[in-house]
Chain A
Amino acid sequence: MSDRPQPEPYGAAAPGDAPSAPPSGLDNNRHRRGRVASTAALLGLLAALAGWAWFATENAREGWWTFGQHVAIGPDGEGWASIDTVGVALVSVDVATEIDGVSPPTGYEYLVLDFEVEATETEQYRSCTVEVRDAEGRQFLAGREVPNGDPYLSELMCGTSDPAEDPVPGAQSTLVLVPVGAELVSVRVDSNEFPPAAFIELPLPF
């Protein structure tokens, strides 16, 4: 410890002083102003950091929302789920072990999904992907490693630029390769043209 006189803590009495008088009004004001300034500076710092973090993560946040599936649109009482210009209903689901003489790899089977589709888009062609989701969260894409050809589509037709010559078919079917024994939960219909984060989810009747 140094013998040099030390500065007294703010508002404290020096040893040997006469008993200190209550803090004056001037001291109280200075003390309050100091505390207010410190609090304001801290809030300013935190606000600046929060703003920096918000702008720094802008792309990640927008990408997560825009390209993710976060808002599921389920079917109404009649089985129809609609987003934007597209309405879809799941009419029937069947399991097949052979389609047109083609069998799936051992341990897998084909899921045959029949839909009804209504689309009011008449300006441009649109397609919708179809995925079957199981209880483990796996998503099996329609049209992959399945026989091609009528009447099965890899993607649903969800809009047309020529409604007279090339209308959107009301009945459409897809095939999905799924593992035998998978606990299938729902069918997801999605499109790049849907509003961000929104997709159609239709429960499977298993």
Chain B
Amino acid sequence: MRSRRWPVIAMIGLALAIGAGANAVEQNHLASGWHTVARGDEGGDLTVGNLQVHVHGAVASPVLDDDEPVTSPGSFVLVDLSYATTDSWFLPESPVLVDGDGREYTEPSGFGSAGGVWMAGPDIWYRGGLLFEVPTDVVDDLSIEFRPERTQALLPSTVLRVPLTVSLSAEPLVLGYPTVLAEGER
């Protein structure tokens, strides 16, 4: 009997193992999207996927100078950073701010393209500012999260999270367009 039983047991085991594996992949990677979180610090060159970033810092203010002053019920946060790619020109996925409770904040709408993501080239760095709007009580506990291009949406990905040092300002924040940097500059 044993010799007839083992192929059946092996097949059932194989089917269960593949099913469990597929379920684990679906639950941990596909359903939750971005998966692995890499950590980095301000002031250094960091790489995630095909994106190279260098975060200089951030400033928060309740007022934004958008032709005329705009006052937020919370705070505007302008993140000063540079980035380039490793391979080709492309427009990165918009980074998000994440607070200590894991809540995410995206670029506010209505302020034009200044303050949003820009195209960068392979080892061709640009420096500019990304605008966000957050509740004032989370300003001192924010990280910026970069989500690089996913060539295969079904595959798990890595994101890069950089804790921000946010300085407070009473002056209105001013948006500008990014500028290309000389070789070696950040």
Contacts and interface: CB of A to CB of B under 8 A. Distances in A.
Given A38-B4, A145-B121, 11 more contacts: A9-B3, A41-B7, A42-B7, A42-B10, A45-B14, A57-B154, A137-B87, A138-B86, A138-B122, A139-B87, A139-B122
Contact of A140 (B18, B122, B152, B184): B122
Contacts of A177: 121, 124
Contacts, number: 75
Interface residues of A, number: 30
A107 B183 contact: yes
A179 interface: yes
Interface in A84-137: 105-108, 131, 137
A14 to B, nearest CB: 14
B31 interface: no
A45 B15 CA distance: 8
Nearest to A143: B89
A105 B181 contact: yes
Given A10-B1, A140-B122, A38 B184 contact: no
Interface of A: 7, 9-10, 34, 38-39, 41-42, 45, 49, 57, 59-60, 63-64, 105-108, 131, 137-141, 144-145, 177, 179-180
Taking each of A39, A59, A144, which has the highest tally of chain B beta carbons within 10 Å of its own beta carbon? A144
Contact of B87 (A34, A63, A105, A138): A138
